[in-house]
Amino acid sequence: MTESRVFRGLAAAPGIAIGPALVYDPVSATAAAPTGTATDEFARLEAAITQADATIAAHEAALRAAGRDEEAEIFAAHRMILADVALRERAAELLRSEGQGAAAAIATASEEQARELESLGDDYLSARAADLRDVAVQVQRALTGARGLGEQLDGPTVVIARDLGPSDLMSARREHLLGFALTAGGLTAHSVILARGLGIPAVVGLGAELLEHAADGATVALDGGTGSLILNPGTAEIERLRAAQASGAAREAALRAEVGLPAVTTDGQRILLVANASTPAEASTARAWGAEGIGLLRTELLFLERPDLPGEEEQLALYRAVAAELPGMPITVRTLDVGGDKHLPAFPLPKEENPFLGWRGIRIGLSQPEILLPQLRALLRAGAEADIRIMLPMVSTAAEVRQARALLDQARAQLAAEGLPHAARPQLGVMIEVPAAALNAAALAREADFFSIGTNDLTQYTLACDRGNSRVAGLYQPLDPAVLRLIAMACEAAHREGRHVAVCGELGGDPQATALLIGLGVDELSCAPGALPHVRSAVRATSTAAARTLAARALVADSADEVQNLLAEVERP
């Protein structure tokens, strides 16, 4: 019998896959390009780019149609890579000066760019190199007619590869792709994001040694929840994993069965369970998972990647479309939050020494009413027919809320004068994202109608560590007692004024933290649509008394690790 061998990598997408292996090499699938004259080859290259663009556009459209906007954006970005003039020009140069064939030229040109990205030592840019290679492989395939992953799978298979591009995943039939294991790859790769969205178990970063041992047809078992892969597992291993697979499926079914049930603790405290979204499609997915409204509508998407500012009517159409997905439910819309690492082509921001401490969020809105006023007008108008709540990002002081309210009054007076229907007095809330907002919570609670805690930024500003900088990622702990004390402070101050408090940062979607947040005094949880069933289930398993005890212990803990240990003690279904 063949020897069983265990490999350990990174847990990339949860789930267990057991089946025969296919060792896949996207690059060799595209080798051996025939060559003609440089002019012929250039014409072939252009035609192949058009063909690859059509394939990628079809992937994008399929995901959009399924309401998977976030994943669709991956392919929108791939189309931009394909349209990149520099890539095309470099390939053309290689055709002319080095007599390369079209397939070799696009491969060389993209590889040069990919290596350059990788050399910058940034995890995010390194992951983008994989996108670039994926796009180039699509063009090479269009030129050579080589078979992609989807065409090589003829039954349920576990794919083993050095790396896989998003297009490979999209080309495979879901029932044929049981899971995949990558020897390279990181957790931010687009193929990983896609796998999570599509529910394909995945393990990455397994190391090149795996390729030396794996062979087509060998049985493999991978566990995307623990990051392990067993080559040639024994019968006992297979049985253990099949049992775990079955209980995972049963848990998934139980979560689905709870979709229509309220998010209520065992002793009857009602938690409002709402979703984070950017588009009507995401709002629709949220409704399917039982969201009771939108707790954070991020509006940046409408403003980014376009040369002009969206007008009032265009904004109104978006807010109406989102509200139409969740009729009668609260829709909390955050006013534009750019600055920091988000830039606005229509309104270039000055280069700053410390952009995260600079002109960002409400600070821009208040000093540039030509941006905020049309947004407030659109929100007031959408509020004529729906429960639209307005939320201000990056607030530090009560004075900022007063200024925003004055602008809101101005927008309302304009609409009244123009005879346009609008909300009489929509709720105006603030995000608690900087320590000053939590420390000034009493004053803010007198000015604002509600709080929503943005734990992503609150963590970065409290611990003074950039949320996107992998060098300080160890410090970035939303469970750090310092962050928790600020959350407790904000809840206390809000409740004293009769205001409610939501959490809309990533921590709100972590079912492990649900009891803790309820214990700290949070009334509403807003999370990504896919996290809703998990958070609902966690709320329904929580007793308020136990949650308060847990929170009291966490507030006096010494470290995030200690809090994590406390959470691990909580029994969950």
Where along the sequence are the contacts to ligand PEP (CB under 6 A)?
Answer: 296, 298, 337, 433, 454-457, 504-505
Question: Considering only residues 12-31, where is the footprint of Mg ion by CB under 5 A?
Answer: none
Burial of 456 (0-12, 13-18, 19+ CB in 10 A): middle
Selected catalytic residue, list 59, 422, 491, 504? 504
Distance of CA 16 to the CA centre of its chain: 23
| 527 labelled catalytic | no
The entry of ligand PEP, Mg ion, none near residue 55 (CB within 5 to 8 angstroms by kind) is: none
SS (H, E, C) 252-308: HHHHHHCCCCCCECCCCCECEEEEEECCHHHHHHHHHCCCCCEEEECCHHHHCCCCC
Of residues 134 and 400, the one with the C-beta less far from ligand PEP: 400
The entry of Mg ion, ligand PEP, none near residue 523 (CB within 5 to 8 angstroms by kind) is: none
Q: How far is the CB of 80 from ligand PEP (least distance, A)?
A: 22
Q: How far is the CB of 433 from Mg ion (least distance, A)?
A: 5
Phi and psi torsions of 219, nearest 5°: -80, 135
3-state secondary structure of 160: strand
Q: How far is the CB of 45 from ligand PEP (least distance, A)?
A: 40
The entry of ligand PEP, Mg ion, none near residue 377 (CB within 5 to 8 angstroms by kind) is: none
CA distance 379 to 138: 43
Of residues 17 and 391, the one with the C-beta less far from Mg ion: 391
Of residues 315 and 462, the one with the C-beta less far from ligand PEP: 462
Q: How far is the CB of 25 from ligand PEP (least distance, A)?
A: 38
Going by C-alpha positions, the residue among 170, 179, 182 that lies closest to residue 68 is 170
CA distances from 180 to 146, 207, 211 (A): 21, 14, 13
Of residues 150 and 358, the one with the C-beta less far from ligand PEP: 358
How many residues contact Mg ion, by CB under 5 A? 3
Of residues 200 and 504, the one with the C-beta less far from ligand PEP: 504
Selected catalytic residue, list 59, 78, 190, 534? 190
User: Which x/- pattern, by CB under 5 A, does the window 407-446 give for Mg ion?
Assistant: --------------------------x-------------
Q: How far is the CB of 139 from ligand PEP (least distance, A)?
A: 35
The entry of ligand PEP, Mg ion, none near residue 480 (CB within 5 to 8 angstroms by kind) is: none
Residues found in the chain: 573
Of residues 232 and 455, the one with the C-beta less far from ligand PEP: 455
Q: Which two tokens stand for residue 379?
A: 């929100």
Of residues 330 and 505, the one with the C-beta less far from ligand PEP: 505
CA distance 41 to 121: 35
The entry of Mg ion, ligand PEP, none near residue 281 (CB within 5 to 8 angstroms by kind) is: none
The entry of Mg ion, ligand PEP, none near residue 223 (CB within 5 to 8 angstroms by kind) is: none
Question: Considering only residues 532-551, where is the footprint of Mg ion by CB under 5 A?
Answer: none
Is residue 229 within 8 A of residue 16, CB to CB? The reply is no
The entry of Mg ion, ligand PEP, none near residue 278 (CB within 5 to 8 angstroms by kind) is: none
- DSSP states of 453-478: E-HHHHHHHHTT--TT-GGGTTT--T
CA distance 561 to 42: 58
| Residue nearest Mg ion, CB atom distance | 457
Q: How far is the CB of 334 from Mg ion (least distance, A)?
A: 9
Question: Considering only residues 176-235, where is the footprint of Mg ion by CB under 5 A?
Answer: none
Of residues 248 and 468, the one with the C-beta less far from ligand PEP: 468
Which residues, 6+ apart, have CB-to-CB distance to 251 below 8 Å? none
Q: How far is the CB of 538 from ligand PEP (least distance, A)?
A: 19
State yes or no: residue 53 binds Mg ion (CB under 5 A).
no
The entry of Mg ion, ligand PEP, none near residue 505 (CB within 5 to 8 angstroms by kind) is: ligand PEP
State yes or no: residue 521 binds Mg ion (CB under 5 A).
no
CA distance 455 to 38: 56
Of residues 404 and 487, the one with the C-beta less far from ligand PEP: 487
3-state secondary structure of 431: strand
The entry of Mg ion, ligand PEP, none near residue 298 (CB within 5 to 8 angstroms by kind) is: ligand PEP
Amino acid making up residue 37: T
Which residues, 6+ apart, have CB-to-CB distance to 330 below 8 Å? 272, 274, 292, 293, 294, 387, 389
Tokens 């069965």 found at: 257
Going by C-alpha positions, the residue among 447, 304, 318, 448 that lies closest to residue 375 is 318
| 504 labelled catalytic | yes
Q: How far is the CB of 460 from Mg ion (least distance, A)?
A: 9
Question: Considering only residues 447-466, where is the footprint of Mg ion by CB under 5 A?
Answer: 454, 457
Q: How far is the CB of 337 from ligand PEP (least distance, A)?
A: 6
Give the relative orientation of helices 235-257 and 532-540 as an angle to the nearest 10 degrees. 80
Is residue 481 within 8 A of residue 557, CB to CB? The reply is yes
Binding residues for Mg ion, rule: CB under 5 A, are 433, 454, 457
Give catalytic residues, as residue numbers. 190, 504
